[in-house]
Amino acid sequence: MCLMVTADHGPAVSGTHNTIVCARAGKDLVSSVVSGLLTIGDRFGGALDGAARQFSEAYDSNLHPMEFVNSMRKKGQLIMGIGHRVKSINNPDVRVKIIKEFVMANFPAKPLLEYALEVEKITTSKKPNLILNVDGVIATSFVDMLRNCGSFTSEEAQEYINIGAINSLFVLGRSIGFIGHYMDQKRLKQGLYRHPWDDISYVLPEQYN
């Protein structure tokens, strides 16, 4: 399910855009897909491990959700897995809804997801787009699965979080989408891409300012 909901999010997001630009520049499949994957990080799809660590540490420390939010604000740090540029409580992310409903209906225990949802109530009261995003819902659900499915010790569950296993879900899923976009550009025989000037910020000499 995680692979399906993360496979593609349209042609305009960072990784897909990079893949398309490289494909249209005549690069091969691997080079094009890698250029897209290199954009994955805390600001684009790579916040799963960070979200898993932050929410786990806060929950395990018995921090009240409000204490967690306030402590992150005092430290000047973003809460990984919270916030979206386009989606909000008024324009919900269907991907989050699908995973959340599945976990709520099927997991034997989901304390970390429930904790994250309490955090979301606080953050969205401040700004409507500070929702639990797809990174956050996958991260907290995956930790709940590791900790409560009975197949792993607590040490093993923590090791999977530490070594980047949760981020790998997004990387693997989104690679599928990148490959699809690469194939589209080649099949449609698209030429070299040139980006519109008015969408680029850069410093001009003073006489042009």
Kindly report, residue by residue over 44-98, the tens digit of the pLDDT: 878 899 999 999 999 999 999 999 999 999 999 999 999 998 899 999 999 999 9
What's the pLDDT tens digit per position in 124-146?
999 999 999 999 999 999 999 99
Which amino acid, one-letter code, is at 161?
I
* Closest of 126, 120, 128 to residue 79, by C-alpha: 120
Q: Which residue has the tokens 């009975």?
A: 150
What's the pLDDT tens digit per position in 173-195?
999 999 999 999 999 999 999 99
For the chain, the C-alpha Rg in angstroms (whole number) is 19
* Mean pLDDT, residues 164-172: 91
* Closest of 103, 102, 143, 97 to residue 120, by C-alpha: 97
Q: What percent of the chain has pLDDT over 70?
A: 99
pLDDT at 100: 97
Mean residue pLDDT of the chain comes to 93
* Mean pLDDT, residues 100-129: 96
Whether pLDDT at 208 is above 70:
no
Whether pLDDT at 205 is above 80:
no
pLDDT band at 110 (very low <50, low <70, confident <90, very high): very high
pLDDT band at 209 (very low <50, low <70, confident <90, very high): low
Whether pLDDT at 29 is above 60:
yes
Spatial separation of the C-alpha atoms in residues 116 and 118, rounded to whole Å: 5
HEC per residue, the chain: CHHHHHCCCCCCCHHHHHHHHHHHCCCCHHHHHHHHHCCCECCEECCHHHHHHHHHHHHHCCCCHHHHHHHHHHHCCCCCCECCCCCECCECCHHHHHHHHHHHHHCCCCHHHHHHHHHHHHHHHHCCCCCECHHHHHHHHHHHHHHHCCCCCHHHHHHHHHCCHHHHHHHHHHHHHHHHHHHHHHHCCCCCCCCCHHHCCCCCCHHHC
